[in-house]
Structure 1
Amino acid sequence: MKRRNMLYGAAAAVAGLAGASVAWWKFQPHQLAPSAPADTGLLGAAGSASDAFWRLNFDTPDGKNLSMSSFRGKVLLVNFWATWCPPCVEELPLLDYFFQENKDKNLQVVGLAVDQPSAVRTWLQTKPLNFPVGMAGLAGTELSKSLGNLSGGLPFSVVFSAAGELIHRKMGKVLPEELAQWAALK
């Protein structure tokens, strides 16, 4: 009986340690390699995920249409975020400043909110952004996965070249050094 209890205790400890390790890894910011495969997911099987991305349209918080194709020809930084995600809302002022400094340099920032429209509208009333925001909703999680966000976590950013190719992926908060590198892209 004593040995059985020790075995159960050891098994429980191993399971707890494994669970804690997975949780720790999941919530660490990971840089995804630019060459990570992009599953087409919601974007469909025809063509690459980046090709299909350019055909997408989103509603803006004020009900207008935000067409990704309107940004073709510019370096495009797309940031997936949510109002309930502390690192997301912490990085938005940095992204907004980056957009303001670079908007005349053929560079565009777009935020895709993986959130309820009412929460996004309320948040933007108190902290407006100068770059466009699209309402991706829960489907934004699948979209980000199709672009290489293997864990589905937030914040997640992708950078498209002016030619429309997906060239960078970033899991976690962006750093000023990364923004400076992306600003130099053509």
Structure 2
Amino acid sequence: MPNSPDINTLIDAAIILEGDFSDHPADRGGPTRWGVTEAVARAHGYAGDMRHFPRKKATEIYKRKYWERPGFDRIAQLAPHIAAELFDTGINMGTGTASRFLQRALNALNRNGRDYMDIAVDGQIGSKTLASVEAFVRRRGARGEAVLLKAIEALQGARYVELSEKRPANEAFLYGWLANRIG
């Protein structure tokens, strides 16, 4: 099995990318620190001013909400680069969206069911999704993982453009999303 990515390294990279405190008027997430929105911080018991939201608390949320709960830690045992991408995408777009990108890409790459059966695109990492990842990687190897990663990023990039088309205020973020989240 491939080496699993170190979650602490992934979290540190996410926090560096997301930055310290932000309260951009076009950001529907409102006040954010370390990439954690006020709503997420509140849902995890933080009641203080977001300007003072502790990095340690952000790290705990990232590990639990964006790595373990969606099952990306289990993907990491099979396809570490895919797991790292799902973690990052999950932070920015939600873990269900990231999981659906994976499931859609797996279905499109299964050679009409010859390599493994289609799976439900339900945003849940369960036994069938894990089995499909395992079958894909067994058949396609490291090069296949790179291709699967490209497919997920293509779906992500298309979604960013759609978000900007549907809500022009999101154009304030489109360049950064594409520059920092794709490839």
TM over 0.5: no
Q: TM-score range by the shorter chain?
A: under 0.3
In terms of fraction of residues, the more helix-rich structure is 2
- Please tell me whether Structure 1 or Structure 2 has the larger radius of gyration of its CA atoms: 1
Q: TM-score, normalised by structure 2?
A: 0.26
